[in-house]
Every structure is written in C-alpha cells, then in structure tokens.
Structure 1
Amino acid sequence: MSGALSHIRVLDLSRVLAGPWAGQIFGDLGAEVIKVERPGSGDDTRHWGPPYVKDAEGNDSREAAYFQSANRNKQSVTLDFTQPEGQRLVRELVQNCDVLLENFKVGGLAAYGLDYATLNAINPRLIYCSITGFGQNGPYAKRAGYDFMIQGLGGLMSLTGKPDGEEGAGPMKVGVALTDILTGLYATVGVLAALNQREQSGLGQHIDVALLDVQVACLANQAMNYLNTGVSPKRLGNAHPNIVPYQDFPSADGDFIIAVGNDGQFRKLCEVAGLPALADDPRFSSNKARVAHRAELIPLLRQATVFKTTAQWVSLLEQAGVPCGPINDLAQVFADPQVLARGLRIDMPNSLGSSTPQVASPLRLSETPVQYRNAPPLLGEHTEQVLSRHLGLSAEQITALRAAGVL
C-alpha cells in the first residue's frame, strides 16, 4: 500500500533537528526524501554522542543515537555544494523535486546559487521551505538560532521551573529540544498547505518558518494570559496558571499527577481523599475560587496524598473518573502497557548488520499507514544510487566526482 505522500520527492538540505524532523515526517508518509550531507562529516548530529548505535558485534558504531531520532526513511547523498560542480548537481536534482528543506542562515545559500529565486526559476513548482532561528526579516534575521537560546528568548524558560522563593528556583529549559520539534511540525504543515495550493495554481512558493515565531505562537494560553492582563506569568513549577488542582502531589512512594479539569472532578477527588467538606468550602467550590486560594488548598491535599502509594492513588482516582497518572522515567514509559499496545517502539534493520531502535510515528492513517522502509542511513550510503537514478550519471562520472572531492 502506497504512502499518502508517495508521489512527492523532497530534497533535504537541513541538518540537526527542526528540518530533519520535518523530512522524517515526509519520509514516514511515503515521500522519497534525499538528504544532502557534507562529504566526510555529514549532519552535525551524526557526531553528537555517546550513545551510539551498536554494530553486528555489539560494539559502538560511529552513528550517534541523536541522528537516529530524525532521519529514518531517507537516502543519504554526500555532495559538496560549495564547489561549482556540486551546485550544478543540486540544481539538477531540484528540477525533479517537489519540496526543498533548508535551515541555513538567511542568505546563506544565495552564494551558491541555491536560493529560492534561483531555484524557482529552474522549477516553478518547487516548494522551498526555509527554517531559521529568526525568520527572513527583522533585526535578528542574520543571527544563528538554537533551541536552547530560543526557549529563553521566546519566553518558555520564564514559565518553566520552580517558583521564586523555593529551593532550586530559577528558569529551566524543557528536557527535549521542544522548539525545534514544534518548528519541524509547523514546517511540515506549511509544506502540506503549499502542496495543496499547488494542485490549484500549478506553482510552488517560499515558506519562511522561524524558531522564534514558533516558540511565541506556542506560548498558547500563557501568551493570552499576558496579552489580556499586561502581567507576565510567573513560574509555577508543575502547577497550572488557570486550573487548580492540576499538578504533582507526593505519594507514599514517590510522586504522581492530579489533573482536575472541572468542579465535578474536584468533588470526586475530595471524596476519594476523605476530604468531602473541601468541595463545599466556598474557597474551593469553583475553579475560580481554587485558583485564588491555591496556597491554602494545595497543602491540605498534599497532607492527604502522602498516605497512599502512587499505584493506589491512580487506581482509586481512575475508578472515580478523576484524571491522574504516574510520573514515569523512560524505562517505565517504554514498558507501559498502553505504550506497548500502541507499538511505540519499533526496531529497524540497518546497514551495520544490527538493528536501530526507533520511536514510532504517532500518525495512524487507516488507508495509507506510515511505512518504516529504511533505518537512518549511513553517511553517503545512497550517493551512487541517487545520482545514477535521478541524474543518469555513470559509474565513471561518479568516480571522477569523488576524486574531485565533490562527493
């Protein structure tokens, strides 16, 4: 069964995470994704280890686990487009591609004749997606942008971490490069929209996606809280600014989460916790009142939760219809019955003679399901295959290009 995007060819000039994440989504959905990498070194994340993928003998390879997270279902081609001959090869590939992904600095590809204006003249149907830290215009446009600094500059770190006055208080980044991931998702949405528009107009377009724009857009309710009050939200640790109780609580053997979303759930929580009077207390009977009296309510609940284990609380609250859950480490995540039932871990045979563990795509399409065709490629693994199939280069021509340092 063909993938939903099996008719699409993507030229992926991006590296690290945001662009490759988008490219992997296209690959999962069936698109042919050609990843262009620097000869000899490749994508920076190939070297961001340990840990590394194991080879057939169980030894560490040179393939970092980080690279494996965003590069399956791609073909790797080594090509030095700082050289004129390499630029020519990229332009020839572009003639037969639908999408180009790149995350170079603003104007960085123009020096090589690989900017949107040049490639649009070659292929007017090309959808050219530029991913940068700050976008194509504005006073920061030429700056490099990295997830960590964007989390700080874009406000996320001001909302993440323990409140001022508590031990360990201070701004904190999210434990994964979330802004990169979200930017990859927005880039994917933008390209899909442009592909749909091309069906009507016959023309491609340029897509400008910036990490900072994405980070600010994804402040969601916190941004609206500020815009409606003029007051910057403060760090609340694991608590929610608009809902109470919606945070972590201590149990007899650790911690767990209670996520009460309405007054009915709060009443059920109070009954299970043996504190039914709290539900009728005017300080706590509505969410608005609970937000105002958060500092009084939370200690009362915490005094009760420490007398049962996390498993006991989860069982009792689930039966009562109160949203709750444990706080798992990754070993517990991948052993969780629901995670196992959904098949969220997969293992793909690789070119090292071993297998590469992967996290499955969350996309479940009934008629055109995600296909796991190829593990993340070795550097330059498909160079000859791609150049001979798409550009008609002979073995002799490819050998000459290698000797010249182009491949």
Structure 2
Amino acid sequence: MTQSELPADRDEAAAALAGVRVLDLSRVLAGPWASQILGDLGAEVIKIEHPGKGDDTRAWGPPYLRSAREEADSDPLSAYYLSCNRNKKSVAIDIASPDGAALVRRLARSCDIVLENFKVGGLARYGLDYESLKRENEALIYCSITGFGQTGPYAARGGYDFLIQGMSGLMSVTGQPDGTPGSEPLKVGVPVSDLFTGMYATVSMLAALRHRDRTGKGQHIDCALLDTQVAVLANQGMNWLVGGQVPRRMGNGHPNVVPYRCFATNDGHIIVAVGNDGQFRALCRLLERQDLLEDSRFADNPGRQRNRQELEAALAESIAGWTSAALTAAMAGAGVPAGPINRIDQVFADPQVAARSLVHRLETDDGTTIPVVGFPARLSQTPARYRQAPPRLGQQTADVLGELLGLSPAELDDLKARAVIQTTDRR
C-alpha cells in the first residue's frame, strides 16, 4: 500500500507514535529491528550511517534488489538490509570527526529517543553517550543494545546472535537428540536473539515514553542479547529452575507435552500439536486407534510423557498411511491442531498469509518496487503504516540537516567536501 492509497482518516497525525523522533545510531539487526517497529507505528526515524559504507548489512548479499534503473547500481540494496530499514531517513555522518559528532549531538537535542548498539563506552569519546546527551536534553530516552549489557564480567565483549544462542543455552535444546543421526547443537534458522532483543528494546522505549510523558524525565535503557535470550528460554528455563531438570535436545519433540512433534506421512511430514486430553482423544478417534484411547497409560499428559516412546511409535504407524494434506484437513475438522511444514516460498503462497495482507510493496526514489513483510499486529485505530522504502545511503542527509539544524546549502557543501557527511543526489 502506497501513501496515496491510504484512507484519508489514516494520515500522518493518526499514527500512534506521530510526533516522536528517534535518532538511530544502531546497525545490523537488533537495533534496526526496534527502530523499524517504531517507524511502522509512526515515529520519525533518523538513521545515522557512516559515509561511504553505511549499515554493515547493506553489503550482506546476495541477493540484492534489482534496480529499475538500466545502468549498473553502485549502491545495491541487500535483502537483509531491506528486511529491517523501512520507514527511516538515512543521514550519513562521520561521527568520528569532531564536526560530525557535533552534528549528531545537535540532532539529539530535538529527539525523543536515541538508540545505539556500540560497545560499552564506545560513544563516550564522541560525547554521544547518555550522560553527555542527557545534560542537554533531560527528557531524552537513551536505549543501549549490547551483547552482554553495561555491567558484569562480559560487558566489554562484543556480542553476536550466533554466540548468544550458544551461550544462553538455546542451542543445547535445539537439534536432534544425542546419539541420533545429525545430532549436534543447532542455531535457530533466523537470528532470534537479535530479534527478541529488538522487540524487548521497543517495549522498553514505549514504556519509557509513557513515563516521560507523566514526569518529564527521560532514562537510560540497558538491553543485552544474553539477558533477553535467557529470559525467553521460557518453559525450558523454568524446567531447570523449578524441577532441577537440565533440558536436552529432543529434535521436534516437546519437553512437557505429548504428542507434540512432527510425524512422517506417505508423502512428507505433518505437525501434530496436541495440547490437552480432549484433543488427544479426538486424534485417537480420527486415526481409529481405540486401543490407544482405552490404554490407561495414555489417559493424561503425565502418563503420555512417561510412555512417550510407545505412544509416538503407535501414532507414527497410523499416520504413515495418510497424505499430509488429507490428514491436515481431517485433523482440522476434528479440532486437533495440525499443519504442514512449509518452505518459505510456500509460506507466501499460503491463502491465510495472503488473506492477512502481510506483504506490502513500496517504491524507491527511482521507481524500483520493494516487497516488505508488514507489521504483524493489527491496531484498529492506529494501524502500522508503510510510508517510506528503505533509504539509500545518505538519501535524506541534506533534508534532515537543513530542516532540523538549519544548515545552508553552502554549509552542506563544505561538510561534504571535508567528508564529514555524504549526500545522495538522485533525480
């Protein structure tokens, strides 16, 4: 949906975060994911990038977006970068130069939120740390995202999603059981530690905005990838804390609920997700397994847990004779949760995904169309909006510095000549 297609009552002022300005000093994923959420909900996001290089993910390809322009593209947009940078303005400033750092400090005075993911203490040398910026803007909300947080013995270390998945215990419960084919620790197929941290950072910034609105006081938010991933161990973490059980890799099995895994059909696999005793009985009736229904060992979930191997072997025998599509449909009709294991291309062809309009299309300044996966929550009064395609490096440098700081064309030309800033001139 383009700007012109939006209903008249859903203009800029109707956005939930209209009037909130975010200065985004982050790069790669956790920080950009958070700022994209804020941008989707109506905040103005100013993304500060290094001239000539920009966000690291600009180079994380292929694949790259194919430009509508016929000539070779000197500034290709990677799919990775496009996944987390819509609804932002790119301002290319070298913060390592005194003049560049001064420009960013001036921008921070007019912002509600600063978001950064530099190493602990890394921005203090430029006067861009929280304490420095707070002196000029007491209402400023300053969110720091690091691998291990601002304190503790690992605080100075760099943190990356893969490392955090391992250190947090997530990889110890992901993959095939020990002693089976392919048994080794596995990371999740998407960088969940980054993504979860970005979401927690977003929630925290919104909470801080609410506090600021009541008190006039800003605050510092300390988000760590390791803290977040430990928090979202959820039931696996509690299995240890409450029961003293060290969770292990179980493949597609569930540590607490049985049967809750994938089974082979005669043409592929199907996920069976039985969540209660009633659903188990319905499954047994569907599969015509009266023997399982009458077996006292399987009458409740604790019993099914204790006798997992015998039950799953019996179910596997019955399920193997079905096609995946037929059994999925039959289980849906019986009220038993089930579903296929889709490839990514099948996901976007799924009629439910299509009906929910999850894919939106934006246009770049040169007319190139970009498909993006939209904000998943539906707000009835203040829906997410897709105002701007992910920007080229430095695309809004001149506009932002001219409008917010009042820099003249001559001043911009001087800064550009001294490599303090980069502007993108596209017609």
Structure 2 SS opposite 1:54:
coil
1:204-240 Cα offsets, whole Å, 9 max, x none, are 0000000000000000000000111222101111110
Contact 1:163–1:169 under 8 Å retained in 2: yes
1:304 maps onto 2:350 in alignment: no
Moved more, 331-340 or 343-352: 343-352
Within the candidate set 346, 364, 386, 1:372 is matched to 386
Within the candidate set 85, 91, 106, 1:77 is matched to 91
Q: Which amino acid aligns with 1:297?
A: L
Within the candidate set 255, 260, 264, 1:241 is matched to 255
TM-score by length of 1: 0.99
- Mapped to 2, the partners of 1:82 and 1:35 lie a distance apart of 16
1:112 maps onto 2:122 in alignment: no
1:276-333 Cα offsets, whole Å, 9 max, x none, are 2202211111100001110111111111111111000011100100000000011110
The count of corresponding residues between Structure 1 and Structure 2 is: 407
Contact 2:264–2:319 under 8 Å retained in 1: yes
- Mapped to 2, the partners of 1:104 and 1:177 lie a distance apart of 19
- Mapped to 2, the partners of 1:39 and 1:181 lie a distance apart of 26
- Structure 1 unmatched ranges of 5 or more: none
CA RMSD of aligned residues (A): 1.0
Structure 2 SS opposite 1:356:
strand
Contact 2:69–2:366 under 8 Å retained in 1: no
- Mapped to 1, the partners of 2:188 and 2:303 lie a distance apart of 30
Structure 2 SS opposite 1:71:
coil
- Mapped to 2, the partners of 1:232 and 1:350 lie a distance apart of 50
Within the candidate set 10, 20, 25, 1:8 is matched to 20
TM-superposed deviation, 1:10: 0.2
1:173-252 map, 5 Å? 173-252=187-266
State the match for 2:43 in structure 1: 31
Within the candidate set 308, 333, 336, 1:294 is matched to 308
- Mapped to 2, the partners of 1:277 and 1:306 lie a distance apart of 18
Moved more, 347-356 or 63-72: 347-356
Percent identity (aligned): 57
Structure 1 SS opposite 2:298:
coil
State the match for 1:361 in structure 2: 375
- Mapped to 2, the partners of 1:279 and 1:228 lie a distance apart of 31
- Mapped to 2, the partners of 1:293 and 1:352 lie a distance apart of 62
1:106-185 map, 5 Å? 106-185=120-199
TM-superposed deviation, 1:57: 4.8
Q: Which amino acid aligns with 1:318?
A: A
Within the candidate set 329, 333, 336, 1:322 is matched to 336
1:257 maps onto 2:271 in alignment: yes
- Structure 2 unmatched ranges of 5 or more: 1-9, 422-427
TM-superposed deviation, 1:74: 0.1
Q: Which amino acid aligns with 2:42?
A: G
1:394 maps onto 2:398 in alignment: no
Contact 1:179–1:211 under 8 Å retained in 2: yes
Moved more, 356-365 or 97-106: 356-365
- Mapped to 2, the partners of 1:139 and 1:13 lie a distance apart of 25
- Mapped to 2, the partners of 1:93 and 1:102 lie a distance apart of 14
TM-score by length of 2: 0.94
- Mapped to 2, the partners of 1:279 and 1:186 lie a distance apart of 43
Contact 2:265–2:319 under 8 Å retained in 1: yes
Structure 2 SS opposite 1:151:
helix
Q: Which amino acid aligns with 1:56?
A: A
- Mapped to 2, the partners of 1:363 and 1:161 lie a distance apart of 30
Within the candidate set 63, 66, 72, 1:51 is matched to 63
Moved more, 136-145 or 52-61: 52-61
